[in-house]
Amino acid sequence: MLFVVLVEPETPGNIGSVARVMKNFGVRQLLLVNPKCSHLDGEAYGRAMHARDILKVATVAKDFSSLKKFDYVIGTTAALGSDYNVLRSPITPDQLTLQLQRFKGSGKGERAKIALVFGREGTGLTSREIGSCDLVVTIPASKKYRALNISHAVAIVLYELFRSSKSAKLTSHIPLASRHEKKVAMSMVSEILAGMDFATGSKKETRRLVWQRLINKSFLTRREMYALLGFLRKTIKVIKK
């Protein structure tokens, strides 16, 4: 199940426009994190048009930590980093659709809950919030002005997902690794890194972040995750000998 998440939205009109775009592409779940305005405002209703039903059932969360309940958290950003900035090494919307084409879910065979997160109208997501995301998406735009209006950004990403939805059904029977399984894999990676020598602590942390991004970006199936966990377990045994 896909949720569109808006972090600290400030303008009712933008919330309404996002709701309208969501309705265009068949997405109904809207979550507002610490909103600075009411999503039931008249301006929001006016912009939503026939998507007012989405506003009526939208949910509100106090802070970003509430997204921990999701199996996958996908952040969006217009601020790109260099190859050395692991946190801001995003994929494009079409690459995201390829990742999600194998999507069915995680845990006990139920559909995974995926949060598609859009930041504040003026400043976007903070580096800390991006660090909490499993992967980050950016929309290619002119270098002279990368930042899009939030409803336009939502429209582009949802369009790409909607366009590939038929292809996604072909592999929807293949379950993805759960968040718990990803945490287990990362704890094993951390254990392995702890036994290695690095010139500085920051280099070790960078290596850990790279592994975390690799695991999250790959959208591993459960079977692939089991194979990775088995490899990591054997690696730990070898190191401890």
Domain shared by 186 and 75, yes or no = no
Q: What is the pLDDT of residue 76?
A: 93
Burial class (CB in 10 A: 0-12, 13-18, 19+), 73: buried
Domain shared by 113 and 162, yes or no = yes
DSSP per-residue letters across the chain: -EEEEEES---HHHHHHHHHHHHHTT--EEEEES-SS-TTSHHHHHHHGGGHHHHHT-EEESSGGGGGGSSEEEEE-S----TT-STT--B-HHHHHHHHTT--EETTTEEPPEEEEE-BTTTB--HHHHHTSSEEE-----TT--PPPHHHHHHHHHHHHHHTHHHHGGGTTSPBPPHHHHHHHHHHHHHHHHTS--SSHHHHHHHHHHHHHHHHHHT-BHHHHHHHHHHHHHHHHHHH-
> At CA 63, angle to CA 65 and CA 68, rounded to 5?
20
Domain shared by 17 and 71, yes or no = yes
Q: What is the pLDDT of residue 62?
A: 93
Domain shared by 53 and 166, yes or no = yes
**Contact at 8 Å (CB) between 46 and 158?**
no
- Write the pLDDT tens digit of every residue in 186-196: 999 999 998 88
Q: Which of 132, 149, 171 is the last residue of a domain?
A: 171
Domain shared by 33 and 80, yes or no = yes
Domain shared by 152 and 202, yes or no = no
Domain shared by 24 and 55, yes or no = yes
Domain shared by 88 and 10, yes or no = yes
Q: Which amino acid would we find at residue 4?
A: V
Domain extent, residue 98, equals 2-171
Domain shared by 183 and 232, yes or no = yes
- Count how many domains the chain has: 2
Question: pLDDT under 70 in the chain at which residues?
Answer: 80-89, 101-111, 165-174
Q: Which of 140, 171, 202 is the last residue of a domain?
A: 171
Domain shared by 129 and 212, yes or no = no
Q: What is the pLDDT of residue 131?
A: 87
**Contact at 8 Å (CB) between 154 and 122?**
no
Residue the block writes with tokens 């997204």: 67
Q: Which of 137, 155, 171 is the last residue of a domain?
A: 171
Domain shared by 68 and 121, yes or no = yes
Domain shared by 62 and 166, yes or no = yes
